[in-house]
Amino acid sequence: MKTFKTSIYFWQRLLFWGAGSINLIIILMLVGIWRTGDRALNFIGNLFNIKPVEPKIETLAPIVQRIKDVHELSTTVQTIETIVPASAERKLGDISLATTRLLYIARGEIRAGVDLSELKETDIKIRNNNIEIDLPPAKILDSKIDVNRSRVYDYDRGFLNLGPDVAPQLQTLAQRKTLIEIVNTACNEGILTTANLKAQKTITQLLAKTGYQQVKINVTQSNSCGTINQTEKISSK
């Protein structure tokens, strides 16, 4: 019985000592706070002070580089099928003896868009939390003929086949004419206007998540619409 009472007494003292130690630690913390003054209070306050998230705006150079990394922004592709005639004459002096005629049905593809490598830093304006960009004008980026979907529709060497047998040459001539025809058709149908509008939408979406409050993309209308070069391009898709 005496041992049991001794055990209870031991645990009571142990609990009392533990509670006293906790109280002592709290008292020391309060004394430390009192002696250090505002610095301690500010430290404790900063532990529970959640700072608001501040959006960061990228500098001008990375934005220009990000857009230029896209290089050629191809936004519009048109496929056009057309019939192109070609002919060659056999002459005796100034007199035409016979004419060879060829009709070529060609299927061509025209790709239009904006060449972002032409974008300059002066084309980008940043004011406060707003960004405004003047895009270069849209242009024809590529035009080509799909030879697998193109064919000679008719080949006629004239009366008694007296016309020159120049089918390969006439087909090549027809393909060159086709490139000009499909580009002119696409231009007349407003391919550059469509390319400008799609480029405007694409760049706006590209910069929508950069933290700017307002993104304004301006397009420039091209004064001309034509082939990028006179080199014949033939594709065998």
Query: How high is the mean pLDDT in each 10-residue block of the chain (237 residues)?
Result: 49 49 55 53 52 48 58 79 89 84 91 86 86 90 89 88 89 90 90 91 82 86 65 45
- d(Cα 186, Cα 190) in Å, to the nearest integer? 6
Q: Is the dihedral angle over the CA atoms 174, 176, 179, 185 positive or is it negative?
A: negative
Q: Report CA 43 to chain centroid distance, whole Å.
A: 48
CB distance 123 to 134 below 8 Å: yes
Q: How many CB atoms lie within 10 A of CB 194?
A: 16
Which pLDDT score is estimated for 70?
58
Residues 6 or more apart whose CB falls under 8 angstroms from that of 164 comprise 88, 89, 90, 98, 100, 157
Q: Name the helix (H) or strand (E) containing 132.
A: strand 130-134
Q: What is the largest CA-CA distance in the chain?
A: 146
Per-residue pLDDT of 105-123, as tens digits, reads: 989 999 998 888 888 888 8
Which pLDDT score is estimated for 2?
46
The angle subtended at Cα 189 by Cα 184 and Cα 192, nearest 5°, is 85
Whole-model pTM? 0.61
SS3 content of the chain, % helix, strand, coil (to 5): 45, 30, 25
- d(Cα 195, Cα 186) in Å, to the nearest integer? 11
For 156, phi then psi, to 5°, come to: -130, 125
Which pLDDT score is estimated for 15?
46
Which pLDDT score is estimated for 5?
47
Which pLDDT score is estimated for 102?
92
For 75, phi then psi, to 5°, come to: -115, -20
